[in-house]
Structures are given as structure tokens and as C-alpha cells.
Amino acid sequence: MSKRIVPLLAAACLAVIAGGAEAVDVRAGVLRVDYPALLPISRYDLRPDDLAFAGAVLADEDNATTGRFMGHSFETTTLAVPPEGATEALAGLLDDGVRYIVVDAMGEELAALSDQAAEAGALVFNARAADVDLRSESCRANLLHIAPSYAMQAEAVAQFAVWKQWKRWLLVSGSNPADRALAEAYRHAARKFGAQIVEEREFEDTGGSRRTDSGHVLVQRQLPTFMQRTEPHDVVIAADATDYFAAYLPYHLWTPRPVMGSAGLRPVTMHGAHEAWGATQFQTRFEKLARRHVQEEDYNTWLALRVLGEAVTRTGSADPAEIEDYVLSDAFELAAFKGQKVTFRPWNGQLRQPILLYDGRITVSVSPQEGFLHQVSPLDTLGLDRPESSCTAFD
């Protein structure tokens, strides 16, 4: 009895009221740079082969479903390359005529790839790099940031700590450049929201504290001594962007205190247990497709391509300059399972979005927190506000 009626191609009887009904073909690429890395502290953090790509497949499906009614088609190519292969891979995409590139890479490669894409007039979406300078002095006019910056992450945590009245922070950071950049974001966040860093410690990356067969035995002895004789503090803030020690902190402190930041309560764009604001539907669709839980880079990539899809739906255009203008304008808004619309900061191309505070199982809270007000949007209390960014590329 079941009869599936597909109005696809029945263009003649499809009257589309809003937006253009002309056929538009949108081709995008997802370029993921895979870095040589040691095993993560936890097996749960192993990077799946289809990381980010699964988000792209879901976004393509979502965009195609909408596009069917508009006469728009979406096709996304995914590529995983080592850092030294990134330039060539991007050149290939650009040669093929792809003008929308989602880049899942760290800051250095992202900056270079953005410049390479700019020469071809292509628009780049950042799905991973959190470097603050890319949203400030090193920003690029063709680079939109879906991934939150270290500043947004740190300030999401800071607001929650301040809301809790946990204002005395012990900042423990790693010794790698990324760890130090993240620590700097926490220092800035403390100043911005009136918390006090009572003491700082740097846990040096000697290469020996990563997971081994008996790693926990060593850690159980090392960490408490490292955390002895501190100033009185309410909370330990961990800045370990390179993931080599923070995961061990929560139960190996000397003074029992909650840990936030790179362990304990972590700021994320999405996690597999988030279900508020209709996110359950996103999770079930993603899981059906990927047969695993969603990770941040999947969500960020999905969101990048949804931004593109939404802009194409509303403008009826596939021209990168027109799309970018629209995305950065006040007219652009997008639902992203975060309880409020996400939009872009026109001064540095950063996506405004709520940040989930995640304990590894549930959404504990969502920043911005109640009471942190802003004249434009509470979301601008997270990260570089207009006066805080020295980006001029978008002027």
C-alpha cells in the first residue's frame, strides 16, 4: 500500500515563493589535515577516520533536501592529507572549481591554506583552529571561523566559574605553545570577568607523562606533589590544548577542588549527549549515518556547510563574494541546536554561538551565563568583541 511520492524534478509544479528558483550547483570541499600525533590519553579521544567528513555528509543531505525545493544542488568532496600534502590538495580542489573550503587544521596550516584559497577567490571555513590571532591581527577576509577561539572557550568557562562564585583560580598550564596560548586566554578571561588567578603552575611536557601501561601509577605519585602547597583556591583551571596531562588532574590534586577547562568541565561546541533544543534529532540523524557519536569537528563541519546552504537558500546565489556578504550581514541567521540563532561577527568573521559546558556525560551548563549582558548580543560576551579585535580585513 505504501507509495512514495517524489516531487523531485517536477519543477513545473513546484512554485517556490521566496528566493530564486534558478538552478544553482554548489560545490564544496572539506580538507582535513592529519597531524602525526601520539595516542591520546583516553581511547575515547581517538580520531575516527571519518572525523569531520561525517558531518559533511549530513550537511550535504540536509542542504540537498532543502535544495530540492529550490532547484539547488550540493556536492561536497572530502580529503584527508598530511600537513605537507595540504597545499597540493587544496590546489586540486581549486583547479576543479571548488570555491568553498572547510578546513580542519591547526592555525599555521589554516592561515596558509586561506591565503592560497584567497588567490582563487574561494571562501574558507575554519572548523578546528582556535588561535586568537586569526580572529584579530592575523585575520583574513576570506576566512570565516566556525570553531570558537581559545578566548570564547576560556570565557565560557570563566562565566560559569564567576556565576558559581568560584573566583579564586589556580591556573595549571602545559608547556607547549598551544597550551601557553590557551593559558593566556584564561588570564584574559579572569581579568574580563573579575576572577583572580591566585597562582599559576606549568606542568612541563617531558614526553613521559603520556599513557603507558602503568602511566596511572606514575601520575598518581607525580601530580599530587606537583599540586602541593598552593595558594587557597576555589577551582583549578587547566590549560592543556595538546592533551598530555589535564585529563589526569581531577582525582590527582592535593587540595580537592573542581577542575575546569581542558579537563573536568570542558567547553565544547557539541557532544554526543546534548539533547536540548531539538539536538536529539541532530544526534539521531548523525548516528544513523556515521554509526558513532558526534564529535566537535563533525559538528563544526556540518555547521560550516549549513551556513553555506542557508546562505544559498536565501540568496539563490553560489558566488563566494555574495555568499560572504550575506553571511556577514544582519539578515543572516541560522538554527544550530543551541537554543538561539547563530550569526557572524562582521568585524572578524567569527561565528557567534553558545558554548556547551560538558563533563564527559552531560551538558552541565551553557554559556553565556545569565547576567552577562551585552549591548548587541549576550553571545558577544564570549570572545573578541569589536573593540577587542584588531582585525581590519573586513572593514
Residues found near other proteins in the complex (CB under 8 A): 1-8, 10, 13-19, 61-62, 65-66, 68-70, 278, 281, 284-285, 288, 306, 310, 313-314, 333-335, 339-341, 377-378
Smaller CB distance to other proteins: residue 287 or 359? 287
Smaller CB distance to other proteins: residue 125 or 286? 286
Cell numbers at 340, concatenated: 538561539
CB of 357 to other proteins, least distance (A): 18
CB of 289 to other proteins, least distance (A): 11
CB of 313 to other proteins, least distance (A): 7
393 membership: H or E segment, kind and range: none
Residue 246 and residue 261 in contact, taking contact as beta carbons nearer than 8 Å:
yes
Smaller CB distance to other proteins: residue 3 or 43? 3
Give Cα 42 to chain centroid, integer Å: 20
Q: In what order do the strands lie in the sheet with 123-126?
A: 72-81, 24-33, 100-104, 123-126, 143-145
Contacts of 379 (CB under 8 A, 6+ apart): 340, 343, 352, 353, 354, 368
- What is the C-alpha R_g of the chain? 22
324 membership: H or E segment, kind and range: helix 320-328
CB of 4 to other proteins, least distance (A): 5
CB of 58 to other proteins, least distance (A): 10
Cell numbers at 183, concatenated: 593559558
Smaller CB distance to other proteins: residue 63 or 78? 63
Smaller CB distance to other proteins: residue 8 or 37? 8
Smaller CB distance to other proteins: residue 65 or 212? 65
Give Cα 254 to chain centroid, integer Å: 33
Contacts of 214 (CB under 8 A, 6+ apart): none
CB of 294 to other proteins, least distance (A): 15
